[in-house]
Structure formats: C-alpha cells, structure tokens
Amino acid sequence: MDNIISFDEGNGILVCEAGCILEKLDSFLAEKGYMMPLDFGAKGSCQIGGNISTNAGGIHLLRYGSLRANILGLEIVLANGQVIDSLRSLRKDNTGYDMKQIFIGAEGTLGVVTKVSILTPARLSSRNVVFLGCKYFTDCQRALKEARSNLGEILSAFEFLDRKALDMVLSHSDGLRDPLPDSKHSFYLLVETTGSCFNHDREKLDNFLEICMDKGVVADGVVAQDNQQFRSFWQLREGITEALSKAGAVYKYDLSIPVPYMYNIVENLQHRLGDLAVVMGYGHLGDGNLHLNISAPRYDSKIFSLIEPFVYEWTASHKGSVSAEHGLGFMKADAIYYSKSPEMVQWMTRFKQMFDCNGILNPYKVLPGSSFKEGSRYRNVSNSS
C-alpha cells in the first residue's frame, strides 16, 4: 500500500497508494521539480491516506489551499466491500455530485481511502524565512496584513507562537537557540516566502521588514542566512508539541477562531487556571488556527474541570470551530454540537447510515453516540425521518 502508481511530469499530478509516507512523496517529487501541497511536523511518519481522511491542514494551507482543492481523485473501499473508483487525474470534472469530497475528513467512518490522485505545485527555487518578535498580539495581526500586501504571491507560511511556547521548546530541545537573544518578546512570528527568483524575493522581504519596523509593528527580527538556520527556525515552531510532551501532562485543543479574538482565550484560560498550569498559544495565524495547549505537572481532574467545557463554550460563543484541523476522533465526538447544529449532525448521521448501516467502520468516531437514536443505526434512511 505504499507504491507510487504514476506521475504526470507535465501537470504535476501524482497517483499513489494510501500508505505512502508524506515526506517520502515529497522527496520523490523534489527530484521532478514538484512538492506536496501540504506539510507539517509529522511528515516523516504520517501517511497520505490518513492525511486525506483527516483533511490535514498544516503550515502551507495559506499558500496552496486545502486538500479539497488538491485531491483530484480517490479510490475508496466501502463498508459493503464495494470499491468506488474515482481515481481521475483531471483538474476539472463536473459530471454529477463530487462524491469523493464526503470521504475527505470523514476519518475513515464512511469508507477507507486506498488510492489517491493529487495535484502538486511546482517546487520553486527560492525559500526564505524570518523570525520576528512582536510586543502585542494586535501587532501580529498588523504584520499579517503587511505580509499579505507586501509579500503577496510569495507568502507561503505565517505562523505564530507566544513567549511561553518558545520557552517550552528552548528548554526541552537540544541545540536550539533563541534567534532574538537580546530581548524577550511576548509574541514571535515565523514568516516564510517561496518564489522563483531569489533576488526578487529578498527585495520584497527586505521591503516588508522595513515597513514593519518603520510602523513599529515588529520589535525585532532576523532573516535565516542559510539552510541550517532555516531549519532551526522551523524547529522552534514544529518542536513545540514534542517539548510539551516532555514537560509533563498536556491538554491540547485545536481551535479555529476569528483572528481578532484568537489570543483572548489563551489569556482568559490562564486567568482561570492561575498557578495550576501554564497556558500557551501557537499556530497558523494566517488561517485563524490556534493550537491551545495547557501544560501541567500531572493530569488533574480539578484542572480539567476548569478547562472543559469552558474552552468549547468560549469557542462556540465566538463562532469558532472546536476542531480546526485535527478532527474529532473518539475523544471529541461529543463536542461536535459546539460547532454544528443538531440538524447538521442529524444529516451527518444519515450519511453514516447510508454508507455504513452496520457501523463497522471506525466505530464511535466523529459522530456522538447520542445522534444514533434507539434502533436508528439499523433503520433505513428517508427524508421524512
């Protein structure tokens, strides 16, 4: 299940089996002048079938869009053993309903993805990354706006982390240093550009930095000078998860929140928890995706009761999503009602019943048990139910 089936060099269309490791696919494409449109810390172990089943996001969604735009075709095995072959390699196909979409992000509860056709972007030669320090979260937002207008088409990632997240990764990772050691900042930004001409990109980046400094949006900043520094800046962002797991107990939330309010929940929750735990925030600022992490010496029911349902209720009241990119799985299936109406969940249950009436595919995931009313799991579905 980890074979590459074909690659169209003229149009960048890769067809492969679902068990291929994301990083291996990217290495294969590198030789052909292309790249995978998605990237994240787990790339060395995650498989493309899982990426699709969880509608994985990652650091480059800002530039290359979601999997919904890049997946051209899927082969899916259904609960009844039927193989659905929509493994086309066409950018456009408006013949009937786009069935494959319903399996993207369904976490394997409607069918099992076995083969994939995916559109891959050209691997451009020039990549740069800058590490910036900001005083306020509003400055981070202003920097994002400047990046959108001044970096425009070359902007490929816009990530943020707060000071507590930086401290966490610095204290648990060997060989990583603070890129801005002269002063401490409340927030840090990691801004990546990708383009086809190094000189043009550097000129745009210098211009962006000058504007940010002049306007007082950014307090300090440094451009990675070589590949090693490029990687070490990214390790500061991507190493947070691992550092947290070394530090003790960690409660993790993956929220979509409108950018202006995004950091308020970190502050509010820290206020609630006081000295019991350290609350930190980082994530994909350009996508409005906050990774909210609470680090404590050990798992504790008092701490947990202060976190939940507060985090979910806060997110719902700000029209956010309680799972931006990680999915619901087993643990968060009941939290679906914070982001979706009972009517929506009822329709989802009908999809589940239609494709998997015996509930044999990844049971108890995604949909809450309560959505399957007495006997309804085996009941036929109709519009009037």
Q: Is 370 in the site for its own copies (CB under 8 A)?
A: no
112-126 residues labelled b (16+ CB within 10 A) or e (exposed)? bbbbbbbbbbebbee
Q: Which of 115, 111, 117, 116 is nearest to 77 (CA)?
A: 111
Q: Is 144 in the site for its own copies (CB under 8 A)?
A: yes
Contact mark string toward its own copies, 181..220, x via CB under 8 A: -------------xxxx--x--xx----------------
- Degrees to nearest 5, angle at CA 174 with 168 and 180: 60
Residues 3, 6, 27, 91: which binds its own copies (CB under 8 A)? 91
Query: Whose Cβ is closer to its own copies: residue 154's or residue 169's?
Result: 154
Query: Whose Cβ is closer to its own copies: residue 30's or residue 90's?
Result: 90
Contact mark string toward its own copies, 238..277, x via CB under 8 A: ------------------x-xxx-----------------
Q: Is 30 in the site for its own copies (CB under 8 A)?
A: no
Query: What is the smallest separation between the CB atom of 79 and its own copies, expressed in angstroms?
Result: 7
Q: Is 92 in the site for its own copies (CB under 8 A)?
A: yes
Contact mark string toward its own copies, 338..367, x via CB under 8 A: xxxx-xxx-xx-xx-xxxxxx-------xx
Contact mark string toward its own copies, 291..330, x via CB under 8 A: ----------------------------xxxxxxxxxx--
Categorise residue 76: left if φ over 0, alpha if ψ from -120 to 50, beta otherwise.
Answer: beta
130-154 residues labelled b (16+ CB within 10 A) or e (exposed)? bbbbbeebebbbbbbebbeebbeeb
Strands 71-77 vs 83-86: parallel, antiparallel or unpaired: antiparallel
Query: What is the smallest separation between the CB atom of 24 and its own copies, expressed in angstroms?
Result: 23
Residues 52, 59, 74, 110: which binds its own copies (CB under 8 A)? 110
Q: Which of 72, 64, 70, 74 is nearest to 103 (CA)?
A: 74
Query: What is the smallest separation between the CB atom of 151 and its own copies, expressed in angstroms?
Result: 7
Contacts for 14 with CB less than 8 Å, ≥ 6 apart? 4, 6, 7, 8, 25, 29, 34, 116, 117, 118, 120
Cα–Cα dist 227/128, whole Å? 9
Query: Whose Cβ is closer to its own copies: residue 2's or residue 8's?
Result: 8
Fill in the amino acid letter for 114.
T
Query: Whose Cβ is closer to its own copies: residue 233's or residue 355's?
Result: 355
Q: Is 81 in the site for its own copies (CB under 8 A)?
A: no
Cα–Cα dist 342/303, whole Å? 29
